[in-house]
Amino acid sequence: MTVRPHHDVLVVGGGNAGISLAAKLRRDGYRDVAIIEPSTVHHYRPMLSYVGSGLATLDELRRPEAAVIPAGCRWYTDRVTAVEPDRSRVRLARIGTLTYDDLVVCPGSSIDWEAVPGSREAVSTPAASTNYEVDLAPRTWAMLSALTRGRAVFTLSQWQVPCAPVALKPLFMAADHWSRTGVLGDIEIELLVEGARLVDEDRADRELRAAADRYGVRVRLGTNLESIDAPAQVARVRSADRLEDLGYDALHLTPPHRAPDWVAASGLAGRGTRGFMAVDPRTLRHPAYPSVWGLGDVAAADALPSGGALRKQVPVVAHNITAGRSGGAMRSYSGYSVAPVTTSRRRLLLAEFDRDGEPEPTTRHPDLVRPRAATFAFDRYVEPLVYWRRLLRGHVS
C-alpha cells in the first residue's frame, strides 16, 4: 500500500527559492514543512558566471543538499511527476502521493534545447558553450581565453532566462582579457539581443552600452538566434524580417528556458507562458488554486527572474500563506529584480528595478549603478557567504 503522508506546507524544489522559503517558514513558527528535491548537491548558481570567466571553480559553488535543508524539515529525495491541485495532492516518481495544506512550487527552470535547433549539438563542440549549464561553465573560459583572433558571438534570450543580463559577464570579462593580452583588435565581438535593451533600467543600460562601445562590441538589438549548424560553426539569426548566416569561432549561448513539463500537465501553467506557472504577479498565489503558490524561476510573475528577486519574493509568499489562512492583508511583490553585471574583470554595476523598469535601489549611497571595484568584490567574494550563511537560513524580510 502506498504511504500518503500529509504536510502543512509542501515545497517543491530545494534550490535557492525552496530552501530560503522553508527556512523562513520555520523561523515564522511553521512546524511541518517538507521539501521535495531529487538532487543531493546544491549549487550557488550565480557563481557560474565567474566559473565561466576563469575567476572561480565549480567546487566553490557546491554543497551537499543535506547541509542546506533547514532543521526540522522533512526532505524527500524524489521527483515530482504530477500535481493534482483540485485534490491537494502531489505525485512522486518513487514514494507515491503526498498531500498538503499549502503547496509552494519552485523547482526552477532548465534550458530548452529544442527552442534553438542545433544548440545542444553546438555545445558538444569546443567552439560553443553556456554558463547556464553547470558542467559547461568551465568550458566557457577555456574557449574564450584560448581565442586570439576571429569572431566571438554572444546571445541574449529574453524568455524567462534566470537573470539574463548576467550573461553579459563572460562577454565583458573576456573582452577585458583580450584587451590586456593585446588581441582585442583581432577579435570581432557580436552580441545578439532579442529585446530592445541590455537591461530594463535606463541608467544601467546606458552604462552597459558604453562598456560595449569601449570594447568594440557590435550590439544587435531585436535579433533572434534561429538555429545553429554546429559542424560548420554557423549561427542563423533573424533581425526584423531578414535572415542571416553568421559564422563564429566562439559562441556563448544564453538560451531560452522551460518549466518542468508537469507544471503545464497539472493545469498550473498560465496562458501564453510557454508552460511556466501562472501566479498573481503581486501576491504570487495561483489565480485558480488559493493554496498553491509560485516562487522563483518557474513563476510567470511579470518580472525578471533572478536570485536577487527571491529576497523580495520569499517574505511575500511566507507572509501571504499565513494571511491566506487567517484572512489577513496580503503583502505585494513589486516585481523587484537585480542584475549584477561586470563591465571588466575588476568592476561591476548593480541594476535594481521593478517590473516597470523603474529603479528600486536597495541603497542610494553609494550609487551602485556606477561600475565599481568594491561592488565587484562584494558580488564575487561576499555575496556567496551571505547566500550560504544568511539567505539559505531564512534571514530575509
DSSP secondary structure string, 199-268?
Answer: SSSHHHHHHHHHHHHHTT-EEEETEEEEEEETTTTEEEEEETTEEEEEE-SEEE----EE--HHHHHTT-
Average pLDDT of every residue of the chain: 96
Type of residue found at 57: T
| 193: helix, strand or coil | strand
pLDDT of residue 241: 80
Interatomic CA distance for residues 312 and 336, integer angstroms:
7
The domain ranges of the chain are 6-109+259-335+389-393, 112-257
Q: Are 347 and 372 in contact (CB under 8 A)?
A: yes
Sign of CA dihedral 310, 312, 317, 319: positive
Distance CA 160, CA 5 (A): 34
- For the domain covering 6-109+259-335+389-393, report its CATH number: 3.50.50.60
Q: Quickly state the pLDDT bin for 2 (edges 50, 70, 90).
A: very low
Q: Count CB neighbours of 149 within 10 A.
A: 11
Instruction: Kindly give, in sequence order, each residue whose CB lies less than 8 Å from that of residue 212, ignoring residues fewer than 6 positions away.
Output: 191, 198, 219
Select 112-257's CATH number: 1.10.1060.10, 3.90.1150.10, 3.50.50.60, 3.40.640.10: 3.50.50.60
pLDDT digits (tens, 9 = 90+) for 126-156: 999 999 999 999 999 999 999 999 999 999 9
- By the 8 A CB rule, do 144 and 177 touch? yes
pLDDT digits (tens, 9 = 90+) for 281-316: 999 999 999 999 999 999 999 999 999 999 999 999
If DSSP codes are grouped into helix, strand and coil, which group holds residue 197?
coil
Closest CA to 362 of 337, 331, 388, 343: 337
Judged on CB neighbours under 10 Å (0-12, 13-18, 19+), 93 is exposed
C-alpha radius of gyration, the chain, whole number: 21
| Cis peptide leading into residue 371 (ω within 30°) | no
Q: Which residue has the cell 586570439?
A: 148
Q: Which of 1-5, 67-71, 263-267, 326-330 has the lowest mean pLDDT?
A: 1-5
CB atoms within 10 A of CB 242: 8
State how far the Cα of 162 lies from the Cα of 236, in Å rounded to an integer: 24
Whether the predicted pLDDT of 1 surpasses 50: no
Our measurement of the distance from residue 300's CA atom to the centroid of its chain's CA atoms, rounded to an integer in Å, reads 13
Task: Assign 279 a pLDDT band (cuts: 50, 70, 90).
Answer: very high
Question: Which cell goes with 220?
Answer: 544587435
The DSSP letter of residue 45 is G
Alpha-carbon gap, residue 123 to 346, rounded angstroms:
28
| C-alpha cell at position 212 | 560595449
Strands 223-229 and 234-239: antiparallel
* In the predicted structure, residue 94 carries a pLDDT above the cut 70: yes
Q: How many CB atoms lie within 10 A of CB 279?
A: 27
Cell of 11: 515545497
**Torsion 25-26-30-31 (CA) sign:** positive
CA dist., res. 16 & res. 24, Å (int): 12
Amino acid 382 reads V
377 membership: H or E segment, kind and range: helix 373-377
pLDDT in tens, 154-200: 999 877 899 999 999 999 999 999 999 999 999 999 999 999 999 99
Average confidence (pLDDT) over 98-108: 98
pTM of the model: 0.95
- pLDDT at site 4: 61
SS3 293: strand
Q: For 202-253, how does the pLDDT look when each residue is reduced to its tens digit (9 = 90+)?
A: 999 999 999 999 999 999 999 999 999 999 999 999 998 899 999 999 999 9
Sequence length of the chain is 397
Instruction: Report helix, strand or coil for 142.
Output: helix
Contact by Cβ (8 Å): 304, 200? yes
Residues 6+ apart with CB under 8 A from 215: 172, 175, 176, 179, 184, 189
- Topology agreement, domain 6-109+259-335+389-393 and domain 112-257: yes
